[in-house]
Amino acid sequence: MKIPKTFQNILIVRTDRIGDVVLTTPAIKAIRQFYPSSHVTVLVAPATYELVNGNPYVDEILVDDRQGRHKGLFGFLRLVREISSKKFDLAVVYHTKRRYNLACYAAGIPFRLGYKNNKFGSLLTYPLKDTRAQGVKHEAEYCMDVLKEIGIENDDLDIFVPTQKEAEDWVLHWMQENNLKPNEFIVVHPGASDAAKCWPIANFASLMDRLAERNALKIVLIGSPQTVSIAQEILRQTRQASRFLDLTGKTSLAQTASLLRRSRLLISNDSGPVHVAAGVGTSVISLFLRNQAGINAERWKPLGPKSFILDNKLEPGSISIDNVVELIDQIFKKDSQYEIF
pTM of the model: 0.94
pLDDT of residue 339: 44
User: What residue ranges of the chain have pLDDT lower than 50?
Assistant: 337-341
pLDDT at position 333 is 87
Distance (Å) of CA 115 to CA 3, 120, 122, 259, 333: 17, 10, 9, 36, 44
Q: Please, which residues bridge with residue 11 across strands?
A: 41, 91
Which pLDDT does position 56 carry in this prediction?
Answer: 97
Structure confidence by residue, pLDDT tens digits, 311-341: 987 565 689 999 999 999 999 988 754 444 4
DSSP state of 259: H
Residues making up the chain, counted from first to last? 341
Residue 312: CB atoms within 10 A of its CB come to: 15
Report which residue type is found at 32. R
